[in-house]
């Protein structure tokens, strides 16, 4: 930061020190809010001197919920159908004395047309945002399930599945971007972990996603990650908590209960930095709440059916993501020269028989390993928008070296139904 700007900031706080002191005093007396930070158009509220105030909040944080005051911030709406669905818990916390506890059961009534316990935030006023929180997952109350749970999603309306969301399935954490799922590894339980997401929401090539867990970057994606804002789709709004669509109506799955604890939930504006968003604290306590009744045994994962569907992956095509055009059919053992082909942004399409089926799982090993799946043709390793607009992920260009790629077809979306005949190839990428 430039010296002149620092002087202006210092002058601002010195000139307004008395106002801030009064605001903080009133906040401590009334305890009516915790977490609505920067007065702005985005929070859709008149500035109120009883709001909690901090110098950091006046900077780059739009919102910060620590659950430590007498009630939750009203900045997000509460989408819960039960008294236990959303509570402030003293049994587990990351900092302070409390955390936000979400609980969902398969018998809960639906709210907002779904089985959910969530915070729902206002639409963003800028497509560039930061999001973070600390998360604790109790293994006794969040057991293995072959069906998925949504724990963070960004809605844009239009009756469409959110373009961007974090999901848990089969005890793994997944990020789904425009229909393409990427496995981020095991869903970590029984210990607090910090999640930070940097998003430049966009339907074009200027989009960017960066995701860190415990300070380690686990996902980066350039390119489209949102629907085009207009008459059909609005600016993204985040929902945080638990949504389980397979419990809608009379639906059941492997489990009957889901519990998650969130703490130090933050939303940063377009000027925020990684350091602004890091959850602060780190206190871990042992939950005193009882396990669900009745206690369920951990289900044994259902093995993939050995019966094939007659569907198959028949070949792979290298695609130039900059031009959206096919380059070559990749054969087993082939060496691909990027300079000879004149490409840098790459994707690989799996060609199937029939051309349209349920979903295709991709398993890439090599210098840039990746596991993902695509629910809509064309089926692509790094995803696409379903209209032949291919993304390239971190292949801009891909790291040079030898790779093995396996693609497996399924009859239904989300790798469900009957498995078909997979195809595996090994190839080398050179300059």
Instruction: Please check whether residue 100 lies inside any domain of the structure.
Output: yes
Confidence check: pLDDT of 54 > 60: no
The CATH number given to whatever domain includes residue 410 is 2.60.40
Structure tokens at 88: 């402030």
Are the CB atoms for 227 and 389 separated by under 8 Å? no
Confidence check: pLDDT of 299 > 80: no
Q: Among 217, 251, 277, which residue terminates a domain?
A: 277
Structure tokens at 115: 């089985």
Q: Please state, rounded to an integer, the average pLDDT across all residues of the chain.
A: 83
Co-location of 58 and 194 in the same domain: yes
The CATH number given to whatever domain includes residue 208 is 2.60.120.200
Weakest-pLDDT range from 40-44, 47-51, 255-259: 47-51
Beta bridge pairs of residue 36: 63
Contacts 24+ apart (CB under 8 A), 39-47: 40/125, 41/125, 42/122, 42/124, 42/125, 42/126, 43/75, 43/122, 44/122, 45/75
Co-location of 209 and 316 in the same domain: no
Give the model's confidence band at 69: pLDDT under 50 very low, under 70 low, under 90 confident, else very high: confident
Return the pLDDT at 282.
59
Instruction: Please check whether residue 303 lies inside any domain of the structure.
Output: no
Co-location of 213 and 88 in the same domain: yes
Confidence check: pLDDT of 236 > 50: yes
Are the CB atoms for 32 and 52 separated by under 8 Å? no
Return the pLDDT at 97.
94
Co-location of 240 and 353 in the same domain: no
pLDDT, tens digit (0-9, with 9 covering 90-100), for 242-255: 999 999 999 999 99
Co-location of 267 and 372 in the same domain: no
**Cβ-based neighbour number of residue 389 at 10 Å:** 18
Domain count, the chain: 2
Co-location of 362 and 265 in the same domain: no
**141 vs 6, which has greater pLDDT?**
141
Confidence check: pLDDT of 100 > 60: yes
Confidence check: pLDDT of 55 > 80: no
324-346 average pLDDT score: 94
Instruction: Please check whether residue 230 lies inside any domain of the structure.
Output: yes
Are the CB atoms for 400 and 431 separated by under 8 Å? yes
Instruction: Please check whether residue 389 lies inside any domain of the structure.
Output: yes
Co-location of 225 and 342 in the same domain: no
Co-location of 370 and 238 in the same domain: no
Co-location of 214 and 70 in the same domain: yes
Identify which of 57-71, 105-119, 301-315 has the greatest average pLDDT.
Answer: 105-119
Instruction: Please check whether residue 357 lies inside any domain of the structure.
Output: yes
pLDDT, tens digit (0-9, with 9 covering 90-100), for 175-210: 999 999 999 999 999 999 999 999 999 999 999 999
Q: Among 277, 303, 320, which residue terminates a domain?
A: 277
Q: Work out the percent of the chain whose per-residue pLDDT is above 70.
A: 80
Instruction: Please check whether residue 4 lies inside any domain of the structure.
Output: no
Q: Among 277, 304, 327, which residue terminates a domain?
A: 277
Co-location of 391 and 247 in the same domain: no
Co-location of 117 and 217 in the same domain: yes
Confidence check: pLDDT of 287 > 70: no
pLDDT, tens digit (0-9, with 9 covering 90-100), for 101-131: 999 999 999 999 999 999 999 999 999 999 9
Are the CB atoms for 342 and 403 separated by under 8 Å? no
Instruction: Please check whether residue 408 lies inside any domain of the structure.
Output: yes
Identify which of 54-58, 281-285, 309-313 has the greatest average pLDDT.
Answer: 309-313
39-68 average pLDDT score: 53
Are the CB atoms for 280 and 192 separated by under 8 Å? no
**37 vs 394, which has greater pLDDT?**
394
Give the model's confidence band at 308: pLDDT under 50 very low, under 70 low, under 90 confident, else very high: low
Instruction: Please check whether residue 296 lies inside any domain of the structure.
Output: no
Co-location of 23 and 99 in the same domain: yes
Give the model's confidence band at 2: pLDDT under 50 very low, under 70 low, under 90 confident, else very high: very low
| DSSP helix/strand/coil, 139 | helix
**Domain encompassing residue 421:** 312-430
Angstrom CA distances, 45 to 41, 42, 186, stand at 7, 8, 40
Return the pLDDT at 393.
81
């Amino acid at each position: 930061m430039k010296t002149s700007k620092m002087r202006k900031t210092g002058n601002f706080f010195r000139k307004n020190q008395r106002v801030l002191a009064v605001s903080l005093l009133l906040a401590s007396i009334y305890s009516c809010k915790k977490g609505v930070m920067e007065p702005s158009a985005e929070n859709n509220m008149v500035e109120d001197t009883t709001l909690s105030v901090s110098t950091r909040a006046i900077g780059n944080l739009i919102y910060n919920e620590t659950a430590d005051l007498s009630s939750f911030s009203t900045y997000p709406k509460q989408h819960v159908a039960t008294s236990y669905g959303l509570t402030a818990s003293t049994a587990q916390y990351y900092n302070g004395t409390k955390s936000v506890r979400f609980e969902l059961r398969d018998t809960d009534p639906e709210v907002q047309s779904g089985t959910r316990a969530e915070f729902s935030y206002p639409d963003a006023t800028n497509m560039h945002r930061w999001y973070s929180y600390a998360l604790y997952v109790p293994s006794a109350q969040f057991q293995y399930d072959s069906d998925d749970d949504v724990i963070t999603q960004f809605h844009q309306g239009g009756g469409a599945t959110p373009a961007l969301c974090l999901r848990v399935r089969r005890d793994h954490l997944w990020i789904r971007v425009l229909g393409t799922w990427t496995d981020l590894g095991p869903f970590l339980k029984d210990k607090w972990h910090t999640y930070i997401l940097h998003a430049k929401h966009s339907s074009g090539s200027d989009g960017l996603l960066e995701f860190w867990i415990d300070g380690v970057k686990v996902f980066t994606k350039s390119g489209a990650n949102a629907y085009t804002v207009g008459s059909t789709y609005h600016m993204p709004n985040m929902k945080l908590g638990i949504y389980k669509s397979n419990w809608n109506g009379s639906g059941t799955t492997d489990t009957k209960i889901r519990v998650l604890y969130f703490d130090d939930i933050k939303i940063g504006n377009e000027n925020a930095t990684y350091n602004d968003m890091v959850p602060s604290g780190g206190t871990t306590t042992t939950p005193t709440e009882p396990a669900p009744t009745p206690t369920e045994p951990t289900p044994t994962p259902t093995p993939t059916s050995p019966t094939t569907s007659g569907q198959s992956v028949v070949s792979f095509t290298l695609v130039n993501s900059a031009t959206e055009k096919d380059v070559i059919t990749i054969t087993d053992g082939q060496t691909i020269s990027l300079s000879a082909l004149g490409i840098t942004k790459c994707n690989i399409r799996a060609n199937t028989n029939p051309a349209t089926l349920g979903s295709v799982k991709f398993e890439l090993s090599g210098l840039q390993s990746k596991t993902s799946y695509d629910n809509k043709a064309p089926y692509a390793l790094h995803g696409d928008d379903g209209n032949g607009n291919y993304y390239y992920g971190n292949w801009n260009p891909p790291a040079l070296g030898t790779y093995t790629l396996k693609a497996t077809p399924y009859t239904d979306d989300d790798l469900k139904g009957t498995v078909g005949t997979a195809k595996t190839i090994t190839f080398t990428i050179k300059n």
